[in-house]
Amino acid sequence: MSYDGKFAPRLDPGVIDELRSIVGERAIVSHPSELKVYECDGWTIEKSAPDLLVMPRTTEETSAVLAALWRRKIAFVPRGAGTGLSGGALPVEAPVMICTSRMNRILGIELASRCVEVESGVVNLHVTNAVKGAGFFYAPDPSSQQACTIGGNIAENSGGPHTLKYGVTTNHVLGVTLVLATGEIVELGGVCEEGCGYDLVGAVVGAEGTAGIVTRASLRIMREPQAHRTFLATFADADTATRAVSAIIGAGIVPGAIEMMDQLIIRAVEDAFHIGLPLDAGAVLIIELDGLAAALDEHAAAVMSIARGAGASEVRLARDDAERAALWKARKRAFGAVGRLAPNYATQDGVVPRTRLPDILRVISAVSRKYGLAIGNVFHAGDGNIHPIVLYDEREPAQVRAAIDAGREILAACVAMGGSLTGEHGIGVEKQGEMPLLFSPDDLLVMTELRHVFDPLERSNPNKVIPRPGACVEVSAPHRQVPI
């Protein structure tokens, strides 16, 4: 195997029996037709099914499974719900996939400590559902929150519309139980707000499964804001809309969320959900203020005035909870609606300084024209976190190639503008090749050394995130459709 004998190239016959004895027959999937379900995540450009899927139910079972794999030098890939958008859960030189979907219990709720203890396969939205009756919520709210797991969120350091004000996953994880590739169980952090020493929880959050498998987490929950004011602001074009974003934040107001949808997305969403978005708009912003009711009206008036001053042709306030819910439905289901526009799409994820949003949107338009592919934009404008959605048809190899190249060109422009390669979807396999745009060889070496603290032989999610020194990323998935 290409990793200098660190990994066994394939599963030896005894391993399935041993794993079956640990987790039971029903927690193993080995038939190729069933494994096909797991051949990709939301980054569908690359596909590669595992040889075996194991679904442990507890930390202890996970530990026993990983210890068995360790003894046999078998690498593995962790998987939550498979909604990742950068190929993080794609098996690459890892024959075994460990899926956390059966570790889905909420273990404890401590309102006094504002903390919820969960297993890592718990679905994001279920955390808020468990505490909202008591007036609390879990802040990181990816648009995939009805499906994605807390373990996946931790691995990707996920964000969402409301992370503009409340911060991303790393700001809400107090502690984790991590099973290392050796099978050793380690506890990092805890329910206390303040720790000391190096922030190892922070190192695991965003490690994209390369540190081991998170089986449990202590999450910070927050008090539900007393009131919301949610607006739909309509603009002639995306340029004007994004300038309004900077104007609002520049005025010292930090909304709970500022999301943007361009014309392509508005039309797709409207066709799918008929919620009354303005079809003639070049772009819309969904702006949400939250906080104490007494202060909100003043801020709401200021936001409306700033948005109008920045060129909004209309600023409409959601009159009640139903209208607010409809706006969020439009935003959170936008990716699904895009499925109506083309057989396939690749969702990019880059970051620019907020004031450069108009510039990057111009780059995206130019890239769209250059490659002859439609690109829609729906994104967390307040964070400068763009999500160009590149439409293509995977039956046309030239289009697949063009979609990849278009994405790369956009990311390179983000970096050139002082931004980053990812705001929340991670590097996975998709952007490994771009890491040197942002990081020097020394930076990448330091990251590798940090990774080795947890997993010295790189058996947990091998060949992800950090490009191997001197090697191109080509190795990757055996069933890659396009040589990347």
397 burial type by CB count under 10 A (0-12 exposed, 13-18 middle, 19+ buried):
exposed
Considering the complex, state which of residue 142 and residue 225 has its C-beta at the smaller distance from ligand FAD: 142
156 binds ligand FAD (CB under 6 A): yes
- Give the separation between CA 122 and CA 324, rounded to whole angstroms: 26
- In angstroms, give the least distance from the CB of 337 to ligand FAD: 10
355 alpha-carbon distance from chain centroid: 23
Residues 40-59 that bind ligand FAD (CB under 6 A): 41-42
- Tell me whether residue 80 or residue 225 sits nearer to ligand FAD (CB atom): 80
227-239 per-residue burial string, b: 16 or more CB within 10 A, e: under 16: ebbbbbbbbeebb
- 277 in contact with ligand FAD (CB under 6 A): no
Q: How far is the CB of 203 from ligand FAD (least distance, A)?
A: 13
Determine phi and psi for 178, rounding to 5 degrees. -120, 130
Tokens of 198: 């190096």
Rounded Cα–Cα distance for residues 438 and 429 (Å): 16
Q: What is the dihedral of CA 32, 37, 41, 47, to 10 degrees?
A: 40
Q: Does 144 bind ligand FAD (CB under 6 A)?
A: yes
89 and 79 Cβ atoms separated by less than 8 Å:
yes
The bridge status of strand 76-79 relative to strand 96-99 is: parallel
Nearer Cβ to ligand FAD (144/218):
144
Please report whether residue 430 would count as binding ligand FAD according to CB under 6 A: no
x/- binding map, residues 242-271, to ligand FAD, per CB under 6 A?
Answer: ------------------------------
The answer to whether residue 175 forms part of the interface with ligand FAD (CB under 6 A) is no
Q: Which is nearer to ligand FAD, 97 or 300 (CB)?
A: 97
Q: Does residue 160 bind ligand FAD (CB under 6 A)? A: yes
Q: Which helix (H) or strand (E) holds 361?
A: helix 357-371
In the numeric block, the tokens 């330091």 are attached to 446
Q: Find the angle CA(303)-CA(304)-CA(308) to the nearest 5 degrees.
A: 115
Q: Contact between 78 and ligand FAD (CB under 6 A)?
A: yes
Name which of 347, 371, 467 is nearest 44 in CA terms.
347
Residue nearest to ligand FAD (CB): 152
By the rule CB under 6 A, 209 interacts with ligand FAD: yes
Whether residue 316 contacts residue 275, with contact meaning beta carbons closer than 8 Å, is answered with no
Given candidates 23, 49, 52, 148, which one binds ligand FAD under the rule CB under 6 A? Answer: 148
Measured from the CB atom, the residue of 134 and 325 that comes closer to ligand FAD is 325
167 by DSSP, 3-state: which?
coil
Residue numbers 437-476 binding ligand FAD by CB under 6 A: 461
Nearer residue to ligand FAD within complex by CB, 42 or 183: 42
Residues that bind ligand FAD (CB under 6 A): 41-42, 77-85, 88-89, 100, 120, 142-144, 148-149, 151-153, 155-156, 158-160, 208-209, 213-214, 335, 424-425, 461
